[in-house]
Amino acid sequence: MSAVQTGEIITFFILAPLAVIGALGMVLARNAVHSALWLILTMLSLGVFYIVQAGPFIGMVQIIVYTGAIMMLFLFVLMLVGRDASDSVIETLRGQKVVGTLLGVGLAGLMATGIYQATRDYTVVGLEAANKDGNVQGLAKLIFTNYVFAFEVTSALLITAAVGAMILAHQEKSGVKAVGQVAKMRERFLPGNYPGPKPGPGVFATSNSVATPAKLPDGNPSQRSISPILPTRELTAAEKADKPTLTGGA
Amino acid sequence: MDAYLSSYATIGALALVGVVIIGGAFLVNRLLRPRRPNAAAGKRDTYECGLDPVPGGWAQMHIRYYLYAYLYVLFAVEAIFLFPWAVVYLEAGRAVIVEMAIFVGVLALGLLYAWRKRALTWQ
Amino acid sequence: MVKLPPMDYAAIMPLLILFGAACLGVLIEAFVPRRARNITQLLFSLAAVIAAMVFVVKRAGNVTAANAITAGGAITIDKAALFLQGSLLVLAFVSLLIFGERTLEQGGAFVAQAAVTVGSEKDKEQAAKSLGSTEVYPLALFSLAGMLLFVAANDLLTMFVALEVFSLPLYLLCALARRKRLLSQEAALKYFLLGAYASAFFLFGVALVYGYAKAVDFASIHTAAAVGAGNITLLITGLGLLAIGLLFKVAAAPFHVWTPDVYQGAPTPVTAFMAACTKAAAFGGLIRVLYVGFDGLGWQFTPVLGAIAALTVMVGAVLAVTQTDLKRLLAYSSVANAGYLLIGVLAGGQLGLQSVLFYLVAYGLTVIAAFALITLVRDADGEATHLSRWAGLGARSPLFAGIFTFLLLAFAGIPLTSGFMAKLSVFGAAVDGGQTWLVIFGVISSIILAFPYLRVVVMMWLSEPGESTPSVSLPGVLTSTALGVGTIATLVLGVAPGLLLDLADKAAAFIR
């Protein structure tokens, strides 16, 4: 049983380089979405490894939860922070990246050689016993007997996460009272408020974009005409130019 | 062990067929479509309204979408635990059913909380 | 055949109570009207902690080797676990009092809606007049329950789940400060990222240890190590990785870098809770791993952990000298204290364990009182934690300056304070256990560390109060109680430590 099958070897040597390439691509890709896609490659390869090593359940979990749910979470975050957002290249500590890389490679080398040395002479035992009634049944037996407390406590972890997500991401609407028409009118004519309608964008302007401010009769742009949520942008000379009606024909 | 691996051969074949179908569809699409679509200047500009399409198309997403993604992940994890439970509960009896009831109950509490906080209604 | 293992419900009652109360706390959050939530949640959490304490005390009389291990071998409620659970409950009770304080600032120390963008109109509105969020109580209870499980876990898997259960709420709590919200969110993010990284190391360690011992429970690991089957490299690497995860939580150098930022950014009640309870829980877990699972490897881990202890005491002390913010100063002091505790852990034996247990309680109570006092010194922008702002506080408010001086003297380890007795017992145990070189480092570090403490004392008493010296707010009943309990405990444990030392002595026994 402990002998490695040919199919397993072939699968491994096809997917292992792919997994490593995926991991490298994830770290090195400039575009964050590409990083996420590389990561999916790595995770899928790992999922197949688990299945090949007679752990179909964990393999499927890897594919469903990680490449499915967690990666979706990643993509949501990317949409939150922006596809174009890139890391700052300024190092707050000088030489941080170099030292970090060296230490990381060193640790990886140390762990790899250590584990290789330690497990070289190991023979695989217990796989048959563990999967005797089927892989999922074997897992269920452990989860619902010896580790039942850890299992139940996991629900506490999940509900903490739910509450935490609610706290950090959900704004409760405060009960805004309906404002009557009289109150609205009073507010409109309060001193310091401009009761008239706002000038429409582009009334005197030469561009039809809402981002171009309306021109007042004296030729100045009216800031009131632009919605504050619009991004400001440079106007071209043509857009800045006065309309012929302002300059008196021509 | 060989039987175990070869049982996945069907899945492998299916995946291959899927790749061929989708790839083939794209290929056929490419072969059949007209080479030079009509792309006159200004064809895709906004007309008389809207923002000029100046910068990139990305706009920041509202954080509230993240909440849904997150709740989905939580319940995906719950479903993962339900799967091994489903194969043993008949033979295992009442105790295991109660265990899962507690687990699901605690998570349902999270859903109840989200509902009371009006996170589940779109505002 | 799947069959539920027998559960000793009397033994795990405190855990069940706390988890249940936390879940009910979430329900309270969903259904009780907003105005009544704070008082309901506070009273309910305090009641839950007291109820759990009752069951811990009830259990204390009848722990035997036969009935300690329960829940299918996942949990050991031995005497050490009970002592740690009891002290965690006491420390959490006192910190929860500060959580509930609402008289210093309208709505308390917590932001009402953490999702509101910092600096927006809505944020200004909610800073001025909103009730604070009350989710903090169920979160704190979840965290506390995780800690209680962590110190009683009998296998590495349960320990890992407990580690996550007590960490996750803490990450969240850190982000909920009402003032200086960006700093608070930054602290939470840093804590979360580094904490998740440390957890990954822990998990990797579990995997390697499983590879060696073919089991994750401490008894099997102990047996496998004693038999010496297989390649010991796997076991040692596994232990190393486990230790990284645990040392991160106790804030030992070089895994301490999160401490100052997180202590400074987190809301001060949360900082108090973390400084006292996380430290106790993490050391509880560490001593269980080292003395129950890996005691056969003593001669291998002692030199490495010794070096870490020496580094920790020095780093904490030296960096504390350069700090200008009180919360950061206390953070580095907490790093140094982690070092002293590690010295006690390495001392080993009955005496070492006893000294560590005593130290955790004594330090926890003092540090909670110190942070409670920091919440009182405030100006229009909230707490004034910069050192220069405390100049001349002695003239403004002699009582509180006096109490703070006393607490600082306890940190410095001056006789007649609990800090002195704690350090004495730890260093004594270390000399007894043949770790004299560590004691030398410890003493040098204590001398260095006395300097920043005394600088604060001198500033408070010998400087003239300037215009920028903030006023000391009159604390409400809750903070006064927390402050009073912490201060009196610091005094009593310094003058008459016998009772707690005896208790710790009786408790210093693990059951494998």
The residue ranges of every structural domain in chain B are: 1-34, 62-123
| Cα C397 to Cα A131, C392, C471, C473, distances in angstroms | 71, 9, 8, 10
Query: What pLDDT is recorded for position C36?
Result: 87
CA angle B92–B94–B95, rounded 5-degree value: 80
Which residues make beta-bridge pairs with C471? C378
Ramachandran sector of residue C382 (left: φ over 0; alpha: ψ -120 to 50; beta: rest): left
Dig out the tokens for C44 from the structure: 């309910």
Per-residue pLDDT of chain C (512 residues; tens, 9 = 90+): 677 788 888 888 999 999 999 999 999 988 888 888 889 999 999 999 999 999 999 888 787 777 778 878 888 888 889 999 999 999 999 999 999 888 888 778 888 888 888 877 788 877 777 788 888 999 999 999 999 999 999 999 999 999 999 999 999 999 998 888 899 999 999 999 999 999 999 999 999 999 888 888 888 888 888 887 777 888 888 899 999 999 999 998 889 999 999 999 999 999 999 999 999 999 999 999 988 888 878 778 888 899 999 999 999 999 999 988 999 999 999 999 999 999 999 887 888 888 999 999 999 999 999 999 998 888 877 888 888 888 888 888 888 889 999 999 999 888 888 989 999 999 999 998 888 889 999 999 999 999 999 998 998 888 887 777 777 878 888 888 999 999 999 999 888 888 888 888 888 777 77
DSSP run (H or E) holding C367: helix C349-374
Alpha-carbon distance C183 to A88, whole Å? Answer: 19
Nearest to C23 among B92, B95, B106 (CB): B106
Residue C418 lies in a domain: yes
| Helices of type H across C129-155 | 136-152
Assigned token pair, C271: 């900082």
C272 CB-near residues (< 8 Å, 6+ apart): C95, C98, C367, C368, C371, C372
The domain tally of chain C equals 1
CA-wise closest residue to C202 among C165, C238, C235: C238
Listing DSSP states for C197-244 in one string gives HHHHHHHHHHHHHHHHHSS-BHHHHHHHHHHT-S-HHHHHHHHHHHHH
N residues, chain B? 123
Helices of type H across C463-476: none
> Chain B neighbours among C 100-119 (CB < 8 Å)?
115
Q: pLDDT at residue A183 above 60?
A: yes
What six digits make up the tokens of A237?
Answer: 């000379």
Question: What pLDDT does residue A250 have?
Answer: 46
C116 contacts: CB under 8 Å, gap ≥ 6:
A171, C122, C123, C126
pLDDT at residue C280, rounded to an integer: 93
Report the pLDDT averaged over residues B68-88: 87
Q: Which residue in the block uniquely carries the two structure tokens 């509490």? A: B109
pLDDT confidence band for B56 (50 / 70 / 90):
low
Structure tokens at C28: 């309270």
> Among all residues of chain A, which has the CA nearest to that of B96?
A144
For residue C31, list chain B residues with Cβ-Cβ distance below 8 A. 116
Question: ∠ CA(C346), CA(C351), CA(C355), 5° rounding?
Answer: 75
C246 domain-assigned: yes
CA atoms within 13 A on the CB side of A47: 17
Of B49, B77, B91, which to mutate for an interface test with A (greatest number of A Cβ within 10 Å)?
Answer: B77
CB contact under 8 A, B2 and A7: yes
Q: Left, alpha or beta for C89 (phi > 0: left; psi -120 to 50: alpha)? A: alpha
Residues of A in contact with B61 (CB under 8 A): 76, 79-80
Stretch 318-357 of chain C: residues touching chain A, C-beta under 8 Å: none
Residues of chain A contacting B51 with CB distance shorter than 8 Å? 209-211, 230
Q: Is residue C49 part of a domain?
A: yes
Rounded to two decimals, what is the model's pTM? 0.87
- Establish if A69 touches chain B: CB-CB under 8 angstroms: yes
Q: Which of A108-112, B17-21, C225-229, C249-253 has the highest mean pLDDT?
A: B17-21
- Best mean pLDDT range from A122-131, A238-247, C194-203: C194-203
Q: Span A1-84: which CATH code?
A: 1.20.120.1200
Which of the 8 DSSP states describes residue A227?
Answer: -
> From the CA of C447, how many Å to the nearest CA of chain B?
50
Helix-strand-coil split of chain A, %, nearest 5? 60, 0, 40
Structure tokens at C299: 């001669």
What domain range includes position C332?
9-507
Q: Which residues of B touch A147 (CB under 8 A)?
A: none
Q: How far is CA C414 from CA B84, C91, C491, C497, in A?
A: 59, 23, 11, 14
Q: Do B80 and A233 touch (CB under 8 A)?
A: no
DSSP per-residue codes, C83-112: HHHHHHHHHHHHHHHHHT--SSSTTTTB-S
pLDDT number for residue A177: 65
Q: How far apart are CA C13 and CA C52, in angstroms?
A: 7
Q: Is there a domain that residue C1 lies in? A: no
Q: How far off is chain A from C258, nearest CA to CA, in Å? A: 16
Q: Min CA distance, B99 vs chain A (Å)?
A: 7
CB C99, CB C137: distance < 8 Å: yes
From chain B residues 60-89, the ones with a CB under 8 A of any chain C CB are 63, 88
In a domain, C321, yes or no: yes
Range B79-87 contact pairs with CB under 8 angstroms and sequence separation of 24 or more: B80/A61, B80/A64, B80/A65, B81/A143, B81/A151, B81/A154, B83/A57, B83/A136, B84/A57, B84/A136, B84/A137, B84/A139, B84/A140, B84/A143, B84/A144, B85/A140, B85/A143, B85/A144, B87/A134, B87/A136, B87/A137, B87/A140
DSSP C65: T
Minimum distance, in Å, between the CA of residue A111 and any CA atom of chain C = 8
Neighbours of A138 (CB within 10 A): 16
* A59 three-class SS: helix
Integer angstrom CA distances of residue A22 from A10, A17, A31:
19, 8, 14
pLDDT at A174: 62
Question: Which of A52-73 are b and which e, b meaning 16 or more Cβ less than 10 Å from the residue's Cβ?
Answer: bbbbbbbbbbbbbbbbbbbbbe
Determine the Cα–Cα distance for residues C70 and A48; give it in Å rounded to an integer: 37
Distance CA C471, CA C486 (A): 22
Q: Is C3 part of a structural domain of the chain?
A: no
Partner residue facing B113 (CB), from C1, C2, C26: C26
8 Å CB contact between C15 and C149: yes
For residues C26 and C41, give the distance between their C-alpha atoms in angstroms, rounded to a whole number. 9
Domain B62-123 has CATH 3.30.2310.20: no
Domain positions in chain A: 1-84, 197-250
Task: List the chains bordering chain B where 3 or more Cβ pairs fall under 8 Å.
Answer: A, C
Asked if C308 and C252 count as a contact pair (C-beta separation under 8 A), the reply is yes
DSSP characters for C399-449? HHHHHHHHHHHHHHT-TTSHHHHHHHHHHHHHHHTT-HHHHHHHHHHHHHH
CA dist C446 and C93 (Å) reads 29
Task: Report the distance separating Cα C317 and Cα C445, nearest Å.
Answer: 6
CB contact under 8 A, C169 and A149: no
Supply the pLDDT for residue A192. Answer: 79
**Facing residues of C243 across strands?**
none
Cβ atoms of C285 and C246 closer than 8 Å: yes
Distance from C-alpha of C363 to C-alpha of C486, rounded to nearest angstrom: 10
A74, A80, A83, A85: CA torsion to nearest 10: -110
Close Cβ partners of C99 (under 8 Å, ≥ 6 residues apart): C42, C108, C109, C136, C137, C140, C269, C270, C273
Amino acid at C173: L
Q: How confident is the model at residue A242 (pLDDT cuts 50, 70, 90)?
A: low
Q: Hey, are the CB atoms on B51 and A172 less than 8 Å from each other?
A: no
**Bridge partners (DSSP) listed for residue A214:** A222
Q: How far apart are CA C431 and CA C423, in angstroms?
A: 12
Reported as a single tens digit per residue, the pLDDT across A17-72 is 999 999 999 988 877 888 889 999 999 999 999 988 888 899 989 988 888 888 88
Candidate from A109-123, A210-224, C233-247 with smallest mean pLDDT? A210-224
> Helix, strand, coil % (nearest 5) of chain C?
75, 5, 20
- Determine the angle formed by the axes of helices C181-213 and C218-227, rounding to 10 degrees: 50
Predicted pLDDT at A155? 92
C-alpha neighbours within 13 Å on the C-beta side of residue C472: 23
Residue in B51, B88, B99 nearest the CB of A148: B99
> In what order do the strands lie in the sheet containing C471-472?
C382-383, C377-379, C471-472
Cα C56 to Cα A6: distance, rounded to the nearest angstrom: 57
Q: Is the pLDDT of residue B91 over 70?
A: yes
Nearest-by-Cβ selection for C29 from B91, B106, B113: B113
Strand C377-379 to C471-472 pairing: antiparallel
